[in-house]
Amino acid sequence: MNFTETILAGTIQADGTLVLDNKPSLPPGRVQVVVRPEADRNQEGEALTRDYLQTMKAIRASQLARGHRPRSMVEIEAEQAKFSAEMDQEIEEAVQLQEACRLRRKQMESESQS
């Protein structure tokens, strides 16, 4: 015997009837139905938010306890400027390399035609 299980969502009406959100992809015949309340997504979201905030507060308290000092805006901006300058330099070097390759290719083409 081949067993196929399909999980569908639905709503229990006030009169006790079950209204499915989608049509089951099973052949006609008797089925066994297990009804389980769906978790309240709003409550789950609130719990996750609470857990996240508690975790962040614990991390911050631990950092303060061991004397960690977060970077200032001046330090962050200085580091961003340094990285930006390094990136600009790398881009300029890549452009120069590309130009040198283009000129060398052109030189080799003209030598092969001579």
Per cent of the chain over pLDDT 90 is 58
pLDDT of residue 1: 55
Structural domain that includes position 53? 40-70
Both 47 and 77 in one domain: the answer is no
Co-location of 52 and 88 in the same domain: no
Whether 75 and 114 share a structural domain: yes
Same domain, 78 and 66: no
pLDDT tens string 55-72: 999 999 999 999 999 999
Q: How far, CA to CA in Å, does 37 sit from each of 11, 12, 73?
A: 9, 10, 49
The pTM of the full predicted model, rounded to 2 decimals, is 0.43
Alpha carbons 86 and 89: distance in angstroms, whole number: 5
The verdict on 79 and 113 lying in the same domain is yes
Q: What is the pLDDT of residue 41?
A: 66
pLDDT in tens, 6-31: 888 898 999 999 999 999 888 888 98
